[in-house]
Amino acid sequence: MDDKRALFRKLHEGPGAFIIPNPWDVGTARILAAMGFPALATTSAGMAFSLGLPEGSASREQTLAHCGAIVDATPLPVSADLEKGFGDDPKSAAETVAAAAGIGLAGCSLEDHTGDRSRPIFDFALAVERIEAAAEASRSLPHDFVLTARCENFLWGRADLDDTIRRLQAFERAGADVLYAPGLADLNSIRDVCDALTKPVNVVMGMPGATFSLADLAEAGAKRISVGSALARLAYGEMVDAAREMRSQGTFRFSEKAMGFAELEGYFRTLS
């Protein structure tokens, strides 16, 4: 287990950038591992959809069970998308890190989104205190753990790059290992964020709007590239299209695009 955590840390210290894709269940985790990716990250939205729930409504128990299953599915290090954690105050942020480490995760991300649409972003001081508490809990562990701090401004109608950088810089000073601002829509903004920080930056691709290559993002200064719920949304979208065809047309042409049984099963044999 400690080897996984050490590997995850080293991925953030090496040259260039790496892709950390986001499976949403054990099967997709095993496929991505078999394809040679070096690490995995959970997706809170993909997890919720797999449970038939809206994002943000999974319980602590459901979330930890899901993340534990992803950890156990492959030999790869896993970082978990734990949204705001299991509460609002700094103590709950620290408890979230301890719970995440306890199920074998190599890291986790905590965000400054409150979960309340009427006041979507934690006040600056509280947001920083939460990351300070989480970082202290991480440092107190008997093993390595990579803490990612997220600023959610751009996902909640606050497209303020200066405030986003201010928050990320404060999270960096508070002890976060990786910084992350989902929703940055252009390379100049990504470059500005990376230039303003000294620690690794995670960038998410696969959201609506422009997408950039791994090489483009590495040149802009990003270290880690995730895809959030994009793979889950792609898969569910294909399934919904197939169901619409059956329901509205009574045809089954979708099966022409389905992966062959033997090929799909082969990914699971690779890690068995």
Domain ranges of the chain: 4-229
What would the pLDDT profile of 204-261 be if each residue is shown by its tens digit?
Answer: 999 988 899 999 999 999 999 999 999 999 999 999 999 999 999 999 999 999 999 9
Task: Give the Å distances, CA to CA, from 47 to 2, 7, 59, 100, 194.
Answer: 25, 25, 11, 16, 29
What would the pLDDT profile of 56-82 be if each residue is shown by its tens digit?
Answer: 999 999 999 999 999 999 999 999 999
- Confidence at residue 210, expressed as pLDDT on a 0 to 100 scale: 82
Architecture per CATH, domain 4-229, reads as: Alpha-Beta Barrel (3.20)
Phi, psi of 179 (to 5 degrees): -115, 150
What would the pLDDT profile of 209-219 be if each residue is shown by its tens digit?
Answer: 889 999 999 99
Q: What is the pTM of this model?
A: 0.96
Tell me how far the alpha carbon of residue 212 is from its chain's centroid: 18
Show the DSSP H helices in the chain as ranges. Answer: 2-13, 26-34, 44-50, 60-73, 90-102, 124-139, 161-174, 187-195, 214-220, 230-249, 261-270
Distance of alpha carbon 106 from alpha carbon 104, whole angstroms: 6
Bridge partners of 19, per DSSP, are 225
Distance of alpha carbon 113 from alpha carbon 134, whole angstroms: 15
Q: Is the pLDDT of residue 84 over 90?
A: yes
67 and 80 in contact (C-beta within 8 Å)? yes
Q: How many CB atoms lie within 10 A of CB 223?
A: 22
DSSP letter at 260 equals P
Q: Is the pLDDT of residue 21 over 80?
A: yes
Q: Is the pLDDT of residue 270 over 90?
A: no
